[in-house]
Amino acid sequence: MLVQRVLMPGSGRESWTLLGDGGEVVEPAERYLAYLSAIERSPNTVRAYAVSLKLWFEFLQHAAVNWDEAGAEDVARFVGWLRAPAGNVIVLADGNGARRPATVNRYLAGVFGFYDHHARTGVQVAAGLVSWRRISRGSYKPFLHHVTKGRPIPVRPVKLHVPRQAPRTLEPGQIVAILGACEHLRDRFLLSLLAETGMRVGQALGLHHCDFVSREREVHIVPRADNANGARAKVRSAAVVPVSAPLVRLYSEYMHVEYGGTDSDYVLSGRPDNT
């Protein structure tokens, strides 16, 4: 199995598909991945789901089960297959597997999304892999009740428990040490921008000169699907983030000293040596 990058005809948008061992398109997976591209899901999201389906179809091939005959027990076996460090090792519930529970759940999200899509198109066995839960009509109104209106919503019948962990962050002293070790202004500006604003690296790499408003000390995060470097902002609408005067000065210094006379529209383009 191979996850293959493709360009959509007409629009030229990037997408991904799944190829079999003989180079043929895996048709059921392709229909779902094409659907995700058609509703303008991020190429990175489509690729992640394609990787999930690659593992699923490899497992089905190993287990000699057709995709439209699989059931909940096969999904449970798939979880064990993902967790097993070797093909002949069975991982206990409290054992350490090759993949963490959060990673397994991401793969399961792609698999259940695949079957949810096919269930909507009339595949009966796919409907059996999509559990539905009706929101209570009692006095208690759960979060997002205004969206579901009491209608049944799909839930995953198989999901691993993921322990809650606070995200790891750098201490102020560690950030200062990293910035002091930067040999190029571009690196120092990028890391300072991420540390101060909390922006995603994709948002930073997709910034255009017009997005950095020095006079107002603002950075505008603008969602764009046509960035030449493939950067994605992962926001539905534009957002404005205030920045400090030292960061504005660092941006100006980077523009005058290292950025030079390049013609790129991007604030962070190329390597520090402008090659």
Same domain, 17 and 129: yes
As for how many domains the chain has, the answer is: 2
What is the per-residue pLDDT for 273?
42
What is the per-residue pLDDT for 261?
57
> CATH number, domain at 199?
1.10.443.10
Same domain, 21 and 141: yes
Same domain, 146 and 209: no
What is the per-residue pLDDT for 221?
93
pLDDT digits (tens, 9 = 90+) for 173-186: 999 999 999 999 99
Residues 109 and 98: their CA atoms lie apart, in Å, by 18
DSSP letters along 136-152, please? Answer: P-SS---TTHHHHTT-E
Same domain, 42 and 67: yes
Assess if residue 274 is contained within a domain: no
Same domain, 105 and 186: no
Same domain, 148 and 182: no
Residues 19 and 79: their CA atoms lie apart, in Å, by 22
What is the per-residue pLDDT for 134?
44
The single residue listed with the structure tokens 């990293």 is 178
Same domain, 12 and 81: yes
The single residue listed with the structure tokens 């690196």 is 187
DSSP letters along 72-83, please? Answer: HHHHHHHHHHHH
What is the per-residue pLDDT for 142?
46
Same domain, 191 and 124: no
Residue ranges, the chain, pLDDT below 50: 89, 91, 132-148, 270-275
Short-list 183, 261, 259, CA closest to 269:
259
Same domain, 117 and 36: yes
Domain range for residue 110? 2-155
pLDDT digits (tens, 9 = 90+) for 121-180: 877 766 666 654 444 444 444 444 444 455 555 555 666 676 777 778 889 999 999 999
Assess if residue 61 is contained within a domain: yes
Across the chain, the runs of DSSP E, i.e. the strands, are: 2-7, 14-19, 131-134, 152-155, 212-213, 218-221, 239-242
Assess if residue 119 is contained within a domain: yes
Same domain, 36 and 91: yes
Assess if residue 268 is contained within a domain: no
